[in-house]
Chain A
Amino acid sequence: MTKKQLIAISLLLLLTIGLCFVPVVFKSDSTINLFILVLLYLSLASSWNILGGYAGQTNLGHAAFFGIGSLVTRLLWIAGWPFYLCFLLGGFAAVILAMIIGIPAFKLRGVYFAIGTLALAQIMNITVANIWPEMSYNPAIANYQLAPRYYLFLGLAVTTVVAAYLLVNSRWGLGIMAVREGEDAAESLGISSLKHKLLALGVSAFFAGLVGSAFAYYHVSYYLFMPFGAEWTFDPVMMTYIGGKGTIIGPIIGSLFFVLMKQLLVWNVGEYHLIIFGTLFILVVLFLPGGLLEVWHKLQRMLKRKIEAAKAPRTKT
């Protein structure tokens, strides 16, 4: 393990321990709720990033995996199944859906794959709305507590980020990135692009499904088709691009920026919040095409240059 990795792990551990105390320190449901939203989107954006960022496959149907996780968990949980079993089944249901869709979908490349996945989410949305048009209520509203939901989302966020990190730093991860850089080149080196893309899709869908499962546990009442809505695809995509696609830290920064900035604007600016947020988003896209992470990289390069300049022997003229 390198020194850099050790520092990163220590920081993650410290941050996680610190976050464990949020429900103890903050008594307000609003603050815990805000943390939950950040963690939810962080997990969802990180899961999208595995396929979209590392495998280079623009998935516009992420809501289908999020939705199926939520649907399976909610239906089984309300039917009286133990929640933890339903939670895991939600993730596995998403993987099954991903595999059914993945094999034909990966015959499509580029924009056709994106359109195919977009259609999948839309089909799922309409189908679920037709089969289950009714509202789903949490029957135990009197015992509803945010703290258990918070811990579930925290654990899920940490798991997703760690899993993404471990995957991209493994042999499989290198294969996935090789496919992103050039499928034909990767194939010529004996890397099966289909296998690697399916692996990335499966892992991405599994975590999206788990986030959907946690959402089913978190939301008191909602239409069962709601988690299949396009916003559950496009919001994580935006977060990943804002933070920095194809990096571990990018979706974290992106989701923090997206959720906090948006909510703070809603709560403080009133009806102009969308105009301001839209402007900020355009500015980020225009001036930081690599996402907010680019600011850090630019700063790093600048610091490095300055240090090198300071270290360089001065010559007298």
Chain B
Amino acid sequence: MKARMTFVGIILLVSLLLASCAPEPTPTPVPTTPPDTSAPAEPEYPPAPEYIEVGASIPLTGKFGSLGTQVKVGYDYAIADINADGGVFVAEYNAKVPLRLTAYDDESDPTKAVSNLEQVFSEQPAMVAYLGGAASGMHAATTAISEKNQVPYLGVSFAWWNIHQRGYKFLFSPFPKSPDQARDVFKALNEMIPDAAQRPTKVAVFQEKTDWGNELGGLFKADAKPAGYDVVYYAEYAPGSTDYSTLILEAKAAGADALLAMPTTPDGIAIVKQMAELGWKPKFSLIIRAPDAATWGEATGAAGDYVTVFAGWHYGENFPGVTEINAKHQTEFGRPADILVGPAYSCVQILADAIERAGTLDRNAVRDALEDTDMMTVIGPVSFNADGTGNVLNPLVQWINGKMELVWPLDQQTADFVYPIP
């Protein structure tokens, strides 16, 4: 047995040594060209590629499947619309080139998402950009691969700001982030309720114990006071909890008249139902993420009505192209576009614009052009900060009579803000 154990040990040792001896990549020599001394001639353009290749790994099944399918619809619509016009003009080829998306389902598994992005990168060596999937955990895994492969990455459906603070150069996200949400909730309340005496002033924060929850909860706390609000109750809970009665009763006892929370859909449903059962009805509720689900109204009934959410986008926004997306979605799915369709659509618009401005399919040039983005999209005007976060509209949506209505910014309203909650 001792000899056998030694044998097993030797194999393990050899593998560890091999792992440490793997060669580092050698830098590729840069080809040099002699200076051009000939007379200027008519420019000759190289033949354009058949497609501009774009890759993605999207959770079409699994726990983020409902988000991923919306994102995929947005990408497909945008690519179809751009290609219907001939594609994206690339100055390098003096021609319009259609976009082609290669997207694989990762089953909401980050390990498979990584594998998919590597696969699409190998299949399409000339790939220009990655389009992201959905949910923070998925993006955290895939953005690292885009950074490794030095491929520009455009992603929506994650509000987590910290992911942008890793020094990643290729990540761009035209989607509201936690600092926008924390700032805008108080800004929106102050604008929608001009009479300060009518505003809710005592805030309860139910913070999910996740890194994003921690980030957003901390920002709510920090931004409340300067905006004229007091956080009278702050509590953490583990995602997946089923009993929120302690939090609800303590918030009620603290006299809170506004609730700020960021639960998952099942947790959010449990929270509002238990609030109704325990008779706590704050004047205002902002529950980020959970009410994004199209089934929220059905699942919560009256308890989930008048809850507000920063959805990232709303089909009622008054920007060019939104009507067309809604018409298409209505025909295909029998309802106006879902909330992630618009942001996903905008990713393709932004990418097309960057390629056009870069005039080339070179990934670094496209990345630089993305950084300089300043354009109108279906989600409104978009530009990027140095960390890749987007300067985008952050609409506040309220569930009113089982329907999602856009209530802020005031110039985009599809319905009046219902306050206080009846």
Residues of A within 8 A of B (CB): 20, 23, 28-31, 33-34, 37, 84, 87, 126, 129-130, 133-135, 137-138, 141, 143-145, 147-152, 154-156, 158-159, 162-163, 166, 170, 172, 219-223, 226, 231, 263, 266-267, 270-271, 273-274
Set of chain A residues within 8 Å of B144, measured between Cβ atoms = 137-138, 141, 144, 220-221
Closest to A145 in B: B22
B27 sits at the interface (CB 8 A)? no
Contact assessment for A33 and B23 in the assembled complex, using a CB-CB cutoff below 8 Å: no
Please classify how large the interface on chain B is, using the bins under 10, 10 to 19, 20 to 34, 35 or more.
Answer: 35 or more
Q: Which of A151, A170, A221 contacts B15 (CB 8 A)?
A: A151
CB distance from A26 to the nearest CB of B (A): 9
Contact assessment for B22 and A147 in the assembled complex, using a CB-CB cutoff below 8 Å: yes
Q: Which of A84, A87, A143, A220 contacts B141 (CB 8 A)?
A: A220
A-B CB contacts (within 8 Å), total count? 143
Set of chain B residues within 8 Å of A222, measured between Cβ atoms = 110, 137, 140-141
B48 sits at the interface (CB 8 A)? no
Stretch from B116-124, B221-229, B383-391 at the A interface:
B116-124
Contact indicator per residue, chain B 122-142, by CB within 8 Å of chain A (1) or not (0): 110000000000001100110
Contact indicator per residue, chain B 1-32, by CB within 8 Å of chain A (1) or not (0): 10010011001101110111011110000000
Report, nearest first, the 5 A-B pairs whose CB atoms are least far apart: A155-B15, A30-B122, A220-B144, A147-B22, A151-B18
Set of chain A residues within 8 Å of B12, measured between Cβ atoms = 155-156, 159
Could you list 20 further interchain pairs (A-B, Cβ under 8 angstroms) beyond the known A155-B11, A220-B145, A263-B115? A29-B122, A30-B118, A30-B119, A33-B114, A87-B16, A126-B238, A133-B209, A134-B210, A137-B144, A155-B19, A159-B12, A159-B15, A166-B7, A219-B114, A219-B141, A220-B114, A220-B141, A221-B141, A266-B104, A267-B119
Set of chain B residues within 8 Å of A274, measured between Cβ atoms = 61, 107
Contact assessment for A30 and B121 in the assembled complex, using a CB-CB cutoff below 8 Å: yes
11 contacts between A and B (CB under 8 A): A29-B118, A134-B211, A135-B163, A135-B211, A148-B20, A155-B14, A220-B144, A220-B145, A222-B137, A266-B112, A273-B105
How far, in angstroms, from A29 to B213 measured CA to CA in the complex? 34
Contact assessment for B122 and A266 in the assembled complex, using a CB-CB cutoff below 8 Å: no
Contact assessment for B109 and A271 in the assembled complex, using a CB-CB cutoff below 8 Å: no
Contact assessment for B238 and A130 in the assembled complex, using a CB-CB cutoff below 8 Å: yes
How far, in angstroms, from A223 to B144 measured CA to CA in the complex? 13
Set of chain B residues within 8 Å of A33, measured between Cβ atoms = 114-115, 118-119
B111 sits at the interface (CB 8 A)? yes
Q: Which of B19, B109, B147, B214 contacts A152 (CB 8 A)?
A: B19
Closest to A155 in B: B15
How far, in angstroms, from A273 to B116 measured CA to CA in the complex? 14
Contact assessment for A154 and B213 in the assembled complex, using a CB-CB cutoff below 8 Å: no
How far, in angstroms, from A158 to B14 measured CA to CA in the complex? 11
In the complex with contacts A155-B18, A226-B137, A266-B116, A29-B121 CB distance below 8 A: yes
B49 sits at the interface (CB 8 A)? no
Set of chain A residues within 8 Å of B110, measured between Cβ atoms = 219, 222, 226
Set of chain B residues within 8 Å of A138, measured between Cβ atoms = 144
Closest to B211 in A: A134
Set of chain B residues within 8 Å of A172, measured between Cβ atoms = 1
Closest to A131 in B: B209
In the complex with contacts A33-B114, A137-B144, A267-B119, A166-B19 CB distance below 8 A: no
In the complex with contacts A87-B16, A151-B18, A223-B137, A267-B114 CB distance below 8 A: no
Most interface-central of B19, B123, B240 (chain A CB within 10 A): B19
Contact assessment for A162 and B19 in the assembled complex, using a CB-CB cutoff below 8 Å: no
CB distance from A194 to the nearest CB of B (A): 20
Contact assessment for A170 and B1 in the assembled complex, using a CB-CB cutoff below 8 Å: yes
In the complex with contacts A34-B115, A266-B105, A274-B61, A162-B7 CB distance below 8 A: yes
Q: Which of B122, B166, B210, B239 contacts A137 (CB 8 A)?
A: B166
Contact assessment for A221 and B8 in the assembled complex, using a CB-CB cutoff below 8 Å: no
Q: Which of A28, A129, A273 contacts B239 (CB 8 A)?
A: A129
Most interface-central of A137, A148, A156, A170 (chain B CB within 10 A): A148
Closest to A84 in B: B16
Set of chain B residues within 8 Å of A34, measured between Cβ atoms = 115, 119
How far, in angstroms, from A59 to B106 measured CA to CA in the complex? 27
Contact assessment for B140 and A135 in the assembled complex, using a CB-CB cutoff below 8 Å: yes
Closest to A147 in B: B22
Contact assessment for A141 and B4 in the assembled complex, using a CB-CB cutoff below 8 Å: no
Set of chain A residues within 8 Å of B25, measured between Cβ atoms = 145
Contact assessment for B15 and A156 in the assembled complex, using a CB-CB cutoff below 8 Å: yes
How far, in angstroms, from A273 to B109 measured CA to CA in the complex? 15
Contact assessment for B122 and A31 in the assembled complex, using a CB-CB cutoff below 8 Å: yes
Contact assessment for A20 and B145 in the assembled complex, using a CB-CB cutoff below 8 Å: no
How far, in angstroms, from A147 to B11 measured CA to CA in the complex? 18
Set of chain B residues within 8 Å of A158, measured between Cβ atoms = 11, 15
In the complex with contacts A166-B7, A220-B141, A220-B144, A37-B209 CB distance below 8 A: no
How far, in angstroms, from A158 to B109 measured CA to CA in the complex? 26
Closest to A270 in B: B105
In the complex with contacts A152-B16, A170-B1, A37-B111 CB distance below 8 A: yes
How far, in angstroms, from A317 to B135 measured CA to CA in the complex? 77
Set of chain A residues within 8 Å of B147, measured between Cβ atoms = 141
Most interface-central of B20, B23, B116, B144 (chain A CB within 10 A): B144
How far, in angstroms, from A148 to B25 measured CA to CA in the complex? 12
In the complex with contacts A221-B140, A266-B104, A133-B16 CB distance below 8 A: no
Closest to A265 in B: B105
Set of chain B residues within 8 Å of A266, measured between Cβ atoms = 104-106, 112, 116
Closest to B163 in A: A135
How far, in angstroms, from A219 to B119 measured CA to CA in the complex? 16
Contact assessment for A147 and B23 in the assembled complex, using a CB-CB cutoff below 8 Å: yes
Residues 258 to 274 of chain B near chain A (Cβ within 8 Å): none
CB distance from B120 to the nearest CB of A (A): 8
How far, in angstroms, from A149 to B104 measured CA to CA in the complex? 24
Contact assessment for A37 and B18 in the assembled complex, using a CB-CB cutoff below 8 Å: no
Set of chain B residues within 8 Å of A145, measured between Cβ atoms = 22, 24-25
How far, in angstroms, from A5 to B189 measured CA to CA in the complex? 76
CB distance from A128 to the nearest CB of B (A): 11
